[in-house]
Chains A and B, each alone.
Chain A
Amino acid sequence: MGIKNWLNTLLLKRVDQSIIEEDVLKYLYKNEEKNKTSNFQSINNELVFSEEQIDKSIQQLIKNQSIVNSNQSLLLEEKGRTTAIKLIRRHRIYEKYLSEKTGFSKSSWHHKAEEMEHALTDEEVNLMSKELGNPQFDPHGDPIPTKDGQLPKLKGITLSKIEHNCTVKVLHIEDEPKRVYKSIIKQGLHIGSIMTINFTSSVYATEGHALNFNKKDLENITVQVLKEEEEIPKGIVRLSLLKKGEKAVITGLSSECRGINRRRLLDLGFVKGSKISINMVSPLSDPTAYLIRETLIALRKEQTDMILIKKINNDAE
C-alpha cells in the first residue's frame, strides 16, 4: 500500500520481495480475524503490487510453509501467523512511538508505520517498547502483540451495532481507510472518552460535544457498553467549554494527550482535583489564561479539548 510502493510499481522498480510477502501475510491474518476467506483474487484487489509479484510471493510462502492452499483459499500456517503477528507488533509499537515521541500529525502515523514495519528489526522494536514502558495499546486503541507473539483480542463492539440508549467508552478508532479516519478525528472524538447515545434525539455526545457520524464512521469505531452498576461519571466536559466566571474541578486528562504534552500539563498541576477558572482571554481570542493552583497558565484551544473538567456551582463554594 501507500504512495511509495505505488510509485515503485509505476517506475517498474524492484520492490523487495520480502515486503510483498509480509504484506500478503498481514492481509491473510487480518482476513482470518474477520473470518473471511482469502484467495489470489482478493489479495490482488487489496494490494498494489503486480499480479506476477503477488503470485511469486504466494508460491514462495507456500514453499517455506508459511501458508497452504486448500480448496482455492489460502490459509495461514503457524509460521506465517507468527510472522504476521510480529509485523503487526512492529507496526503498532512504531505508531505508539510516533504518538509519544514525535510531532507528526495523527493522520500520518499509519502511513509512516506501514513503511517502517518492514524496516525495523525485532530488537529495535523491543528496545522501543521498553523505552515506551511496554505499552499494551497503540494510539488507535488496538492491542499490541507481546514479545512472545500473544495478540489479545480487541474487546467491545462497533458503534454501528448499538441500537439502544446507553453509555459507552470509546476503545478503538480504526485508522483505515484514511478518509474515514480523518472524518472521525475531525469530529474531535477521543479514545478513552465516555460517550452517551440517545436514540430519541439521535445524538451521540461526548464530553459536552454533540457528534455527527455517518454509517461508515460508526463501523470504524469500537466501544464498550458501560453497565448501570458500574459507576458512570456524569457531567464531565472539556475545559474548552468552560465560560468566563465559571469554576470547575479537573477530573483528568484525555488519553489523546500524550508524550511531552501530557507530562507538561501534569507538571503544571493539571491533575485530578485541581480547581480551575478562566482569568483572561487573549485579544486574538486564543490562547486563554487559566487560574490554577494560584498560578496563571495560558493554554491553546486544542489543549483545552484534552483536559476534562466537572463544573462546580459558585454557591457551593
Chain B
Amino acid sequence: MDKDSAIKSLLEEAAETRWEIGQEFHDKLSESIYQNAAHIADRTVIKEGQKENFNIDRTIDSIVTSPIWGFPIMFCVLAVVLWLTIIGSNYPSQFLAFLLLDNAYEWLRAFAIDLGTPWWLNGFLIDGVFLSLAWVISVMLPPMAIFFPLFTILEDLGYLPRIAFNLDALFRKSGAHGKQALTMSMGFGCNAAGVIATRIIDSPRERLIAIITNNFSLCNGRWPTQILLGTIFIGQMVPDSYQSLVSTASVIGVALLGIGLTFASSWALSKTFLKGEVSSFTLELPPYRKPRILQTIYTSLIDRTLIVLWRACVFAAPAGAVIWLVCNITIGDTSIANHLIYLMDNFGLLIGLNGVILLAYVLAIPANEIVIPTILMLTVMTAPITGYGSGDGVMFELDSLGNTHEVLVAGGWTLLTAINVMLFSLIHNPCSTTIYTIYKETNSVRWTTLASIGPVILGFIVCFVVAQVYYML
C-alpha cells in the first residue's frame, strides 16, 4: 500500500471512530488529562509556604474587591498614574523640545545654509521631515516612558485583573469584557498600545469591541490639545479665581465623555456589526507577586514604548514632508494648502470648525501631537496676522498662552470653535499608527475601516449638532 492511500484510510478510520465515540469525547479527554495531572502532582509536588501566601492573597483580595474600598482604591490608582504621567512628562518633554526643536533644529538650518543646499531641500528635509519627527518624539516619548512602566508594574503586581473583576458588570451591560477597563486605561497612554493590549481579551467579539472603541480613550497626543484649549478658551469665560478649576473640569469632562462613548459604542457594536462574533468569558485572577521593577521598566520600554514610538516616527516623517510640500507647492498663485482650506472652509464652518482645522486633521493623521502646531502654522499662513511663526510649512508652538489665543482668534476662532475642536479631537479617526496596529491585530480591512471611518462620521455629527445648538442660543 502506498503512502497516500495509507493516509487516506487512516483519515477515514479517524472519521469513523469520531462518529462512534460521540460528542462527549472532548469532555472525557479533558477530564482524564486533569485526573492524570492531579495524580502526578499529588505524588511528586511538595507544597511549602503556600498556605500563608494564599491567605495573604485572600486578605488583599478582600480589600481591593470589597464593596466599600474596591472602587475608591481603583480610582486613586488610576488618578495617580495619570497625574504622574501628565505632570511628570512635562519636564522631560520641555527638555527634549529644547534639545531637538530649539537647538538641533537651528543648528541643522545653520549647517545647511553653510553647506549651500537649495532652499527647497532644506525646507523639505529640515522644516518638514526633521521638525515633525522632533515634535512627535518630544511630545510622545516622555509620557509613554512614564505611563507604560507604571502600568506594567501594576500588571506585574497582579492588581490589574482585580480591576477587570470589579468593573466587569458595567462592561457586561454594554456587551464588552471587564478586561476592556485595562485596554481602555492603556489607551489613555496611547491608542496603538491600547489596541495591542487587547490581546489579553481571549473572546473574539469582546476583543474586537475593545479594539474598535479604544480610540475613545483620550490618548497622550490629545491631552495637550485639550489642556491648551481648555485653558485659553473655556477657562477665560469665568473669573480668574475659577479659571483653573473650570479648565480642568472641561478637560476631565471630555475624557469622561470619551469613556461614555466607549460604553455606548461598545453596546451598539455588540448589537449590530459584531452580533455574530463568538463570545465567551473567563477571567483568571493570578496570585499577587512582588513586581520585578527593573525588568519591568526594561521590557515595557523595549516592548511598548520604543515599538510604538518607532511606528509613530515611521508615519510622522513623511507627514512632515507632506505638510511642508502642500504649503510650498503652488498651483496658480496660491499653495495647495490654501486651495484645500478654501475648499473645506464652508463645510468646516457648518460643523463649527473651519478649513484650517480640517486640513490640519487630515495632514496630522500620523500623529495627534502635531495637530496644534499645524493649526497654528496654517492659521498664520492664511489669517491677517504677522509676526508669528517662521514661514509656510514650518510648524511651531508658542510659549505664551496669550499669543496662542491671539493667533487663533485672528484665524476666526470663537468659543464654539474651541469646544468643537476639543470634541473633534476626542471623536475623530485614530492616528495612522493606531490604524496600522488595528489592521495588524484584526487582519481585516472591514474592521479597520469601521474603526477608522466610524469615529470621523460620529465626530462630524456631534460637532454639527453642537454648532447648530450654539447658533440657536
Closest 3 CB pairs of A and B: A284-B169, A296-B285, A266-B30
B34 interface neighbour in A104, A263, A271, A295, Cβ under 8 Å: A271
Q: Give Cα A130–Cα B284 distance, bound, in whole angstroms.
A: 33
Q: Give Cα A87–Cα B229 distance, bound, in whole angstroms.
A: 64
Knowing A268-B282, A279-B58, A283-B71, the reply to whether A300 touches B168 (Cβ < 8 A) is: yes
Chain B residues near A (Cβ < 8 Å): 15, 18-19, 22-23, 26-27, 30-31, 34-35, 38, 58, 61-62, 65-67, 70-71, 165-170, 172, 178, 202-205, 274-286
Q: Tell me if A265 is interfacial: C-beta within 8 Å of chain B.
A: yes
A102, B278: Cβ atoms under 8 Å?
yes
Please tell me the size bucket of the interface on A.
35 or more
Q: Tell me if A289 is interfacial: C-beta within 8 Å of chain B.
A: yes
Given contacts A103-B279, A268-B284, A300-B172, 17 further A-B contacts (CB under 8 A): A103-B277, A103-B278, A104-B276, A130-B15, A135-B23, A267-B30, A272-B31, A279-B58, A282-B65, A282-B165, A282-B168, A283-B65, A283-B70, A284-B170, A293-B38, A297-B285, A298-B284
A269, B168: Cβ atoms under 8 Å?
no
B278, A101: Cβ atoms under 8 Å?
yes
How far, in Å, is A190 (CB) from chain B's closest CB? 15
Q: Tell me if A313 is interfacial: C-beta within 8 Å of chain B.
A: no
Q: Give Cα A290–Cα B280 distance, bound, in whole angstroms.
A: 17
Contacts of B172 in A (CB 8 A): 286, 300
Map CB proximity to B onto A82-107 as digits: 1 under 8 Å, 0 otherwise: 00000000000000000001111100
Map CB proximity to B onto A285-306 as digits: 1 under 8 Å, 0 otherwise: 1110100010111111001000
Q: Tell me if A141 is interfacial: C-beta within 8 Å of chain B.
A: no
A280 interface neighbour in B26, B65, B178, B274, Cβ under 8 Å: B65
B285, A283: Cβ atoms under 8 Å?
no
Chain A residues near B (Cβ < 8 Å): 101-105, 130, 133-136, 252-253, 259-269, 271-274, 279-280, 282-287, 289, 293, 295-300, 303
A284, B166: Cβ atoms under 8 Å?
yes
A103, B23: Cβ atoms under 8 Å?
no
A265, B276: Cβ atoms under 8 Å?
no
B280, A266: Cβ atoms under 8 Å?
no
Contacts of B280 in A (CB 8 A): 259-261, 264
B282 interface neighbour in A102, A274, A279, A299, Cβ under 8 Å: A299
Q: Give Cα A299–Cα B34 distance, bound, in whole angstroms.
A: 20
A284, B168: Cβ atoms under 8 Å?
yes
Q: Give Cα A289–Cα B283 distance, bound, in whole angstroms.
A: 9
Across the two chains, which residue of chain B brings its CB closest to A98?
B276
A259, B169: Cβ atoms under 8 Å?
no
A283, B166: Cβ atoms under 8 Å?
yes
B165, A103: Cβ atoms under 8 Å?
no
Contacts of A263 in B (CB 8 A): 26
Q: Give Cα A280–Cα B15 distance, bound, in whole angstroms.
A: 44
